[in-house]
Structure 1
Amino acid sequence: MHRVLSWLLGGDVSIQYQTHRDLLQSEGMLLEHLQQRIETEGFGSQLLSARNTSGHWGLWYYQPKWTSTHYTLCDLKSLCLAPSNLIAAEMVERALSECQLPDGGLNFAKSNLPSDMAVNGMFLEYASYFCPKDSRLSPLVSCILTHHKRDGGFSWDNESLTSDPHTTLCVLEGLYSYMCSTRNAESVGTIIDAALQWLYERNLCIGEDRRYTRLAFPHRYRYDLLRFLEFAARADIPWNENIEKAVTWLVNKQLDGVWNLELVHPGKVHVQFEPVKQPSRFITLKALSILNFYASDSKTAAKAWNMFVRETDAGAFT
């Protein structure tokens, strides 16, 4: 077996699960077994065990930042904790009961403030995964859609006339997750297209901020090119020239068949997933999954993906 594939399969059980799902297209029983182990082993178990007696992680839904309930649920979703997990579902339901405003948005601020569209988008993304049938998600979506900016994107600042990339991508992920859970593309499909067009018109924000072109995990609320490409592949966004530029950037980041973790957003955390400036299983898995998805349209992606396949035991992909 190729050293990179073997290295991925030697990682945390969440990495093993995603490698079998996204790269090897393994059969359902194996995937189910691996996913169920995430809550009892490794990073998933560590995050779940950090929950305190109030039911929260940290102090409350958004306090303090990365160790709060909100960001812990983001991390658990990112690790692919089983959607049937009762702890995650309980806290999503509590958040809706305790923090949903009359307009449908969420206020995690413990003060009389309007909801933040970036937080709404992030919450919608994991809430649609853990509690897809909760009827309270519909007014949350309606709230988000009423804050769609004329330029096509979204902003955390409700008074702003222009969008920002962070909020726009948070909302894109949330709307797509909701669309998948409800199987209803009509209500959000055109909004997703408009937000994508806003990012394309901005050249995917390449060059606007150096942090956008550094490989980060977890991405938190921040926009970056890897996060965009991961969303694009997951949402079946067709290849285009903007995506080709981003794919080329991603391939050029490769070092001896793997990708390094270049950035960890600073702050106290429950779990330090991987060391910065070292080869990253999380980043490498995301990169290979993206290249696999776009290999049929992008010569750049195809060349990099086919090299990985050729150097791997051919039987692994049959």
Structure 2
Amino acid sequence: MTEHDAVITWLLGVDPAIRWQVMRDLLDLPEADWGRERARVETDGWGARLLACQDPDGQWAGGAFFPADFTPDEWHRSGQPWTATAFALDQLREFGLDPRSDRARRTVALVGAHSRWDEGGQPYWQGEVEECINGRTVANGAYFGADVAALVDRLVDDRQPDGGWNCERAAGSPCSSFASTLNVLEGLLEYERATGGTDRSRDARRTGEDYLLTRHLFRRLTTGEPADPQFLDLLHPNRWRYDILRALDYFRAAGQLTGARPDRRLAEAIAHLRSRRQPDGTWRLDWDLRGRVWFKVNDGPGQPSPWITLRALRVLKWWGGNSA
């Protein structure tokens, strides 16, 4: 068995949420095969476990962004909690819960009827005020079939002069941030996949991509130094956080949707990703976010991560198969 075969075998043994994506993205199996495995996300493993934590009203932990029992002291003591509705939906989308399933459709309806944002009491699918949150809300809404067209229009209007987005825009920030921009780009891409997008949303996605590409995904324009050293460390789940693998996986997904060839400005990030591969063919989790979770999906920092390994392998497969 080759090193690559051993890694694939390891990934196939982890969880249905990983397995169906390995079958689709790495093994190129037909949808009839990976679709059956994807359906198991609802009934087995991490997906079923997270769905079992759902409240009767469709939310998780009784809140949209924060659990109902959250207090500011918790944030200072143990970190931001990740158990509320917004983050549960993020994970179910990553796991690949079939949006056509009855459970997914019921969840969309219940969240729309009962969940309100902590910041201003807005209905969930209308979005909040921060671009990071709204980008992921668009991604989840578009994926699961909610109507998020009005929120997409707001995000397009919230674009910064440099082409990206920043959650601190309302506080007066004049420039974009890596994390906010990627959160919005992922939402716009999911919206485009679901609906075809609009001229305005596609243009906004282009300028947001240019913001990241001109910085080679991690460098400051002014000095060329890494904007944040942690952008080069591999994190999962990312929640709202940025790293180069998350950005590379976005460009992979965008390229597969549109047929665009990989941009050569990704090459430096690709080289760094390759350098982080371990002798056994896996990638390790570099760090993890503090805070309350329903359960862990990695073995901890320093250990091989199936999620990071899956994402890295499919990025490199896309890059190697499409770049000249």
Conserved 8 A contact 1:244-1:298: no
Of 131, 143, 158, 2:169 maps to: 158
Q: Match of 2:58, SS?
A: coil
Structure 1 segment 286-297 matched on structure 2, within 5 A: 286-297=311-322
- State the TM-score, normalized to the length of structure 2: 0.84
Alignment-derived partner of residue 132 in structure 2: 118
Per the alignment, do residues 157 and 93 of structure 1 end up closer, same or farther by CA in structure 2, a change over 3 Å counting?
farther
Rounded Cα–Cα distance in structure 2 between residues aligned with 1:28 and 1:114: 36
Rounded Cα–Cα distance in structure 2 between residues aligned with 1:59 and 1:234: 33
Conserved 8 A contact 2:261-2:323: no
Of 266, 280, 283, 1:259 maps to: 283
Percent of aligned positions that are identical: 29
2:111 matched to 1:86? no
Q: Match of 1:268, SS?
A: coil
Rounded Cα–Cα distance in structure 2 between residues aligned with 1:260 and 1:210: 17
Per the alignment, do residues 108 and 120 of structure 1 end up closer, same or farther by CA in structure 2, a change over 3 Å counting?
farther
Alignment-derived partner of residue 72 in structure 2: none
2:61 matched to 1:58? yes
Q: Which amino acid aligns with 1:6?
A: T
Note the C-alpha offset of 1:109.
Answer: 2.3
Q: Match of 2:204, SS?
A: helix
Conserved 8 A contact 1:38-1:81: yes
Q: Match of 1:235, SS?
A: helix
- State the TM-score, normalized to the length of structure 1: 0.85
Q: Match of 2:315, SS?
A: helix
Conserved 8 A contact 1:73-1:88: no
Alignment-derived partner of residue 238 in structure 1: 261
2:160 matched to 1:146? no
Superimposed CA distance per residue, residues 180-213 of structure 1 (whole angstroms, 9 cap, x where no aligned partner): 1012352322111111111123332242212211
Superimposed CA distance per residue, residues 85-144 of structure 1 (whole angstroms, 9 cap, x where no aligned partner): 3344334344445668xxxxxx4425589611111100111111111xx4x311111111
Note the C-alpha offset of 1:55.
Answer: 2.6
Alignment-derived partner of residue 305 in structure 1: none
Aligned length: 290
Per the alignment, do residues 146 and 192 of structure 1 end up closer, same or farther by CA in structure 2, a change over 3 Å counting?
same
Structure 1 segment 187-226 matched on structure 2, within 5 A: 187-206=200-219, 207-226=226-245
Q: Match of 2:292, SS?
A: coil
2:30 matched to 1:30? no
Gaps of 5+ in 1: 101-106, 300-318
Alignment-derived partner of residue 278 in structure 1: 303
Conserved 8 A contact 2:216-2:269: no
Of 48, 59, 74, 2:90 maps to: 74
Q: Match of 2:42, SS?
A: coil
